[in-house]
Structure 1
Amino acid sequence: MPRKQLILASTSPFRRQLLARLGLPFESADPAVDETPLPGETPEASALRLSEAKARAVSALFPDALIIGSDQVACLDGQVFGKPGDHGKAVRQLQTMRGRSVNFFTGLCLLDAASGRAQLRGVPTRVHFRDLTDIEIENYLRREQPYNCAGSAKSEGLGIALIARIDGEDPNALIGLPLIALCDLLRTENISVL
């Protein structure tokens, strides 16, 4: 039986790099989904909803494929930290998170476009930030410019210096694509990575 086409519903270079580690052929597609949380929606529910929405957004283009969608939300004391978009917002995010523990929740969806069946997983990661000075925050932001990353910290780069400890089941989840959970979901679709 031929293997189904695998699509990553993301333009993120970080997610593409992570998925490439599995050695499976795949294509990427831009889901162009509005990532605004719904009123009263929890961060976890938002990440799961958006991961599925991203996968479904490209399903018409790939009606026989398996489509991977992923979304991440950072949350501290009920406050959601999305992609800052600019320097000022990134400074404020990191100032708020310094010396604190932040939950980064990554939603993952594997959608069988032919059947419409979606498998969802949520992967929490607890990130303990160092008690950073304003100068350290400025130096980091000037060097890394992580304005497209939830919580303004790229752990796969210099952002690791902001972090005192990471607690979670999959280090890849913090970068944006939980590969351990994805391997489980792929196995249920009879796609073996090995």
Structure 2
Amino acid sequence: MLQSPPPPCNLVLGSTSRYRRDLLGRLGLPFEVAAPAVDETPLPEESPHALALRLALAKARAVAALRPEAIVIGSDQVADLGGQPLGKPGNHERATAQLRRMSGQTVIFQTAVAVVCQAMGFEQVDLAPVQVRFRSLDDAEIERYLRAEQPYDCAGSAKSEGLGISLLDAIDSDDPTALIGLPLIRTCRMLRAAGLVLP
């Protein structure tokens, strides 16, 4: 007897980030991953926090348009240095330049999360800013760090969950996983509001 395929999962992470996937996995909920088709180019004069909020919501909406019955999570993070957005460096040279700029500075990592379910008409978005104070860094320690961890896919060129913590003087946040890429306290709050039962 042929078995029918399992019903589609009703929770979807609209992100291909392995960091967000690992964080969401902590909640013990079954979920799928879908890549959102969203242009991440900042708008003219757009502030880093506005950019993060817009992109998180755009990602959730893009996936929800394809999966209207699902509860979709979208998230985005923008490193904010004095009101200027810092993106993912992508390579060693740009990461070196970013860390030189951030040396001795306070950077706000604007981490936004959105939850959307088209079928329910549900939509929420929130921001979890994280203040990170970098130590004064010399070129030798920047080079050692980048060679060791190669954080070229991370906004701000440092992984606080790894060796990057050694570059910092302080982290100030009310949602501890926000700096890694998904603020789980806010995410849980929104998922409960959307009707999911969390363990």
TM-score by length of structure 1 reads: 0.95
Q: Contact conserved, 1:67 with 1:113, CA < 8 A, in 2?
A: no
Post-superposition shift, 1:105? Answer: 0.6
Instruction: Confirm or deny that 1:16 pairs with 2:21.
Output: yes
Match of 2:35 in 1: 30
Instruction: Confirm or deny that 1:50 pairs with 2:55.
Output: yes
Which 10-residue stretch deviates more, 76-85 or 100-109? Answer: 76-85
Instruction: Confirm or deny that 1:156 pairs with 2:161.
Output: yes
Q: 1:61 aligns with which of 66, 70, 73?
A: 66
Q: How many pairs align?
A: 192
Instruction: Confirm or deny that 1:182 pairs with 2:187.
Output: yes
Which 10-residue stretch deviates more, 115-124 or 44-53? Answer: 115-124
Task: Return the alpha-carbon distance in structure 2 between the equivalents of residues 123 and 91 of structure 1.
Answer: 26
Task: Return the alpha-carbon distance in structure 2 between the equivalents of residues 97 and 82 of structure 1.
Answer: 13
Post-superposition shift, 1:162? Answer: 1.1
- The one-letter code sitting in structure 2 at the alignment partner of 1:147 is Y
Which 10-residue stretch deviates more, 172-181 or 51-60? Answer: 51-60
Q: CA RMSD in A?
A: 1.4
In structure 1, list runs of 5 or more residues that go unmatched. Answer: none
In structure 2, list runs of 5 or more residues that go unmatched. Answer: 1-6
Q: Contact conserved, 1:5 with 1:66, CA < 8 A, in 2?
A: yes
Percent pairwise identity:
59
3-state SS of the aligned residue for 2:64?
Answer: coil
3-state SS of the aligned residue for 1:151?
Answer: coil
Task: Return the alpha-carbon distance in structure 1 between the equivalents of residues 87 and 53 of structure 2.
Answer: 15
Task: Return the alpha-carbon distance in structure 1 between the equivalents of residues 198 and 122 of structure 2.
Answer: 21
Instruction: Confirm or deny that 1:72 pairs with 2:91.
Output: no
Q: Contact conserved, 1:7 with 1:29, CA < 8 A, in 2?
A: yes
